[in-house]
Chain A
Amino acid sequence: MSSIVPAMRHVRGFDVARPLSIGMLVFMMLPLVFLPLASIFIFGTSNGLDKFWAALTAPEAIFALKLSMATSFWATVFNVIFGLFAAYVLSRYNFWGRNALIVTISLPTAIPTAVAGFALLLLWGPYGTLGRLLAPHGFQIMFTAWAIILANIFVTFPLAFGVIKPVFDTMSHSLEEASATIGATRWQTFWHVTLPSLRGAIVSGALLTFARAVGEFGSTILVSGNLAGRTQTAPLYIFAKFNEGQIEAANAIAIVLALFSFLIFSVLFFARDWLDVD
């Protein structure tokens, strides 16, 4: 619930704490958040809008954005479905090792993304523990777009799960029991009763996962091979352009990514009532 609870009146007359607190908040956010964000926008367009547009429409840039969208999309689909499944199992069944599983699911966020990428390479790379078994058969997923999806799945693994599970936990059992006594099978109950109650969590979990995956860098740069126009995602593109000294091009794409994240979180905010569980 993000509605305002008005502050209590502590003093007679004019309360200086109010403007002071608000002012301090904005003041602190300036150098930490506002200005860095603003500088991307300012710098990206400082060389003229035509250069900005040229940077945006460069084929490699468009490819990078599309690749980011697509890989993030599939990683999100997988993680939301898995998150649903895991939340169901871990919320409804008790078994030895259950708590360990819950902690393990949450681990990927604590691991530095470069470590994650490296671990994936060590496992699936052509000379990796499992990869070497697949390589002779022509299966090589490292250094392809599939590797990016895999890395994204790993890094954003617990996000959707973390949003969905609390809803499962607090969901009243009597709803499911009622559905059962009415005559519904387990699947019918899940589809008609459980899922609609999860709608909000699914959407916000998906959007969170997606936003995070789009911005993923540390693991992608290791597993993708960073081939421009082939396996270079938007964050990788920005980094490459920066390294080449093409700051405007880097900024152009950075602006696109920033706007996109802004859009996602705006939707999450404005639709929050609809997304809330009743």
Chain B
Amino acid sequence: MRKCTSRGNPFLATAALITALLAASCLPTPPGESGDITITLYGFSIMKESLEKAIFPGFTAKWKQDHGQTVQFQSSFAGSETVTNQILRGAPAEIAILSIERDVQRLQKDGFVTADWHSLPGNGIVNKTPFVIIVRQGNPKGIHDFSDLAKPGIRLIHPDPISSGGAQWSILAIYGSELMKSATKPEDADKPKALQTLRAIWKNVISTPGSAREARTTFELGNGDALITYELEALLMKEAKAPIEVVVPQSTIFSEHPAVVIDKNISAAKRPVIDAFMQYLWSDEAQQAFVKFHFYSSTNDAFNQANKDFGHIEMPFTIEYFHGWDKAYPEVIEGIFRDQVQRK
């Protein structure tokens, strides 16, 4: 039985590999300077840029100036429902910015949010954005409103309502816009027609990614003819010179995004800086920054004039049209969408 005469070589290679692995065995330290204070913020998917590029640095500078301490932010972003679930499971979030109020209610229910978040400025809403339709450059399929999405042969990307808050806004946008077009008060509106439109549109959905941001990426990679999403996403894409067009529907909903403190995860020592940050979110500086990133300010309409890219919406409405999330969720999301559209 011959033995491999070059016994040395494979041994050396393996030894080298193992040494290299050993060198990698130490847990790495996080990059960037380690600050004196760390704030952990979990946000829904589209909040990432505005927070990381403008809000965090802005607050860090301010706090340093006022108190001389360095604040560092840790953040994690995913679909709004996913973020909420993570927090419920114990993710160490100290602040959460979510897409839908219902998610805040879920956190309140389990005792994660104890303070009255409505007492925060702007009723707890940090910014808002209307829902629009994104189509390919040149609008080859001739889409001008939600109802056009019901045309046969249209391939629609729509986030998954189970994990994405934006998906739920989108459904409300579609349904609500149809109702709005028929009457101003929901009680008088043509419900069956709206339901039919919603059904027809949903038949054209070819993919339901987990968050609004994921849906955008899928669309960018060339899937689908149209995407319903937050206007700010559309504007960010245009900024990046993506070959798209934004279709502003005649009537659409403004999504309103709550920011809350996760009281359960805050230590008393951290309270001051957390509260300061929350206040900062509604400061003029922050609100103007949001506008730059294509969000509508929730405090001052005047700021919104600064952004020339905002589309003009003829008949805007908010969740109030449905009498708040407490009614909208069971009636529309569950009653109409889940029971009559999805299940049929």
Contact between A and B in the complex (any CB pair below 8 Å): yes
- A residues adjacent to B (C-beta < 8 A): 59-60, 62-63, 66-67, 69-71, 73-74, 121, 125-128, 131, 140, 142-143, 145, 203, 206-207, 210, 222, 225-230, 240, 242-245, 247, 263-264, 267, 270-275
Give the number of A-B contacts (CB < 8 Å). Answer: 107
Give the chain A neighbours of B28 by CB distance below 8 A: 63, 66-67, 70
Contact at B13–A228, with CB atoms within 8 Å? no
B220 part of interface (Cβ distance < 8 Å)? yes
Task: In the A-B complex, list the 5 residue pairs whose CB atoms are closest, starting with the nearest.
Answer: A271-B10, A59-B31, A69-B24, A66-B28, A126-B90
Give the chain A neighbours of B91 by CB distance below 8 A: 143, 225
* Least CB separation from B211: chain A residue: A243
Contact at A210–B21, with CB atoms within 8 Å? yes
The smallest beta-carbon distance between B132 and chain A, in angstroms, is 18
B119 part of interface (Cβ distance < 8 Å)? no
B136 part of interface (Cβ distance < 8 Å)? no
Contact at B10–A274, with CB atoms within 8 Å? yes
* Least CB separation from B41: chain A residue: A227
Contact at B76–A229, with CB atoms within 8 Å? no
The smallest beta-carbon distance between B283 and chain A, in angstroms, is 25
Scan B278-307; emit 1 where CB is below 8 A from any A CB, else 0.
Answer: 000000000000000000000000000000
Contact at B90–A127, with CB atoms within 8 Å? yes
- B residues adjacent to A (C-beta < 8 A): 4, 7, 10-11, 13-14, 17-18, 21-22, 24-28, 30-32, 40, 45, 48, 74-78, 86, 89-92, 211, 213-214, 216-217, 220-221
Most central of B24, B27, B74, B220 by chain A CB within 10 Å: B27
Given contacts A227-B76, A267-B14, contact A143 B214 (CB under 8 A): no
Most central of B76, B214, B216 by chain A CB within 10 Å: B76
Contact at A131–B25, with CB atoms within 8 Å? no
Partner of A267, one of B13, B24, B32: B13
The smallest beta-carbon distance between A148 and chain B, in angstroms, is 10
* Least CB separation from A74: chain B residue: B25
Cα A243 to Cα B46 with chains together (Å): 10
Given contacts A69-B21, A73-B21, contact A245 B27 (CB under 8 A): no
**Extra A-B contacts (12), CB below 8 Å, given A70-B25, A229-B30, A243-B217:** A69-B24, A69-B25, A73-B22, A73-B25, A131-B90, A140-B92, A143-B92, A229-B31, A243-B45, A244-B217, A271-B14, A273-B4
Contact at B213–A244, with CB atoms within 8 Å? yes
The smallest beta-carbon distance between B52 and chain A, in angstroms, is 9
Contact at B78–A274, with CB atoms within 8 Å? no
Partner of A125, one of B45, B75, B89, B211: B89
* Least CB separation from B38: chain A residue: A230
Provide 28 A-B residue pairs closer than 8 Å at the C-beta atoms, listed in order of the A residue.
Answer: A60-B31, A66-B24, A66-B28, A69-B24, A70-B24, A70-B26, A70-B28, A71-B27, A73-B24, A74-B25, A125-B89, A128-B90, A140-B90, A140-B92, A206-B18, A210-B21, A222-B89, A226-B76, A228-B74, A228-B76, A243-B45, A245-B216, A267-B10, A271-B10, A273-B10, A274-B4, A274-B14, A275-B14
Give the chain B neighbours of A71 by CB distance below 8 A: 27
* Least CB separation from B212: chain A residue: A243
Partner of A229, one of B13, B22, B48, B74: B74
